[in-house]
Amino acid sequence: MAKVFIAGEIPEHALDLLKKTDLDIDVFHGDKLIDHDTLKKGVSDVDYLITPLSTKVDQDILDSAPKLKLIANFGVGTSNIDVEYAASKGIPVTNTPFVSAVSTAEVTTALIISLLHRVVEGDQVMRTTGFNGWAPLFFLGHELSGKTLGIIGMGQIGQEVAKRMHAFDMPILYTQRHQLPTAKEVELGATFVTKEELLKKSDVISIHIPDTPQTHHYIGVDEYKMMKSSAVLVNAARGPVIDELGLLDALNQKEIAGAALDVYEKEPHVDDGFKKLKNVILTPHIGNATVEARNAMAEIVANNTIAALNGESIKYIVNGVE
């Protein structure tokens, strides 16, 4: 009987689909993420691996899985997997694109609003010192209307963010390798500019690019210096695309006004320096943490596993192995 190892708890929806097959299903249960040795043992005799994007699948793991025919990554990114080495062994790697775009865009929107209106900071005030009552100059934030939003990476998530922020009357600049069709730019109220122009003109900068060798520290010390001193940075993409230590220094030196982070360079570690700053919002990688998005992701990994079992076409292969 073919076997699938699931390297972390996933929505029951996926298990319901897998249980309709004759697969032998083994799920790792634990309060913490699966460790390397447990994963290595878990994949030693399996045909299929379903793994969360927080779990590293390196050459050692792949060499320990001689029967492996598919790695279904529960997440959009695949930087946790050595996809090239998997390809060399003829193992397709899949991801779960598209279905989390709305949830991630909604979280990004929430972070932008909360940062400019000091919502989280205000919550902390009410839970600690309290306030003396409404006053004309007390706890002032900023309206979104009329502020320029710069979107780095206008893929599906970036476009969903633009759609929402356009409704707040924010002029939108964006940068990426290729310009969007004019009709799409008009629909989103977005203007294509260089990276440098975006950094210099934007009041809010939101990042939506993948973690690749080319995007590592895409925003670093030089980029922080280009930004307005009144600008804020939001990262709900991947931690390593920004230089975190450089960001912390920029915040402390007041080179920029604030930041909201949902992802981290050495996740799940968060530098204590960020925790001390009132103008920083920190959330625990909840970009697509909705029932709707996670169930849709679960359906993709389950259906791809079932397709592999049945010798059918697999969707969303990222490493070119058919």
Of 84, 196, 267, 292, the active-site residue reads 267
DSSP letter for each residue of 160-205: HHHHHHHTTT--EEEE-SSPPPHHHHHHHTEEE--HHHHHHH-SEE
Of 238, 244, 265, 294, the active-site residue reads 238
Query: Closest Cα partner for 7 from 66, 80, 67, 63?
Result: 80
Peptide bond into 284 cis (omega under 30): no
Distance CA 247, CA 134 (A): 33
Query: Closest Cα partner for 258 from 128, 114, 143?
Result: 114
Residues β-bridged to residue 192: 174
Q: What is the DSSP letter of 39?
A: H
Is 177 annotated in the active site? no
Is 285 annotated in the active site? yes
- Specify whether the CB–CB gap between 85 and 111 falls below 8 A: no
Amino acid at 86: A
What b/e string do you get for 157-177 counting C-beta neighbours within 10 Å, with b at 16 or more? bbbbbbbbbbeeebbbbbbbe
Q: Which two tokens stand for residue 303?
A: 């259906």
List, by residue number, the catalytic residues.
238, 267, 285
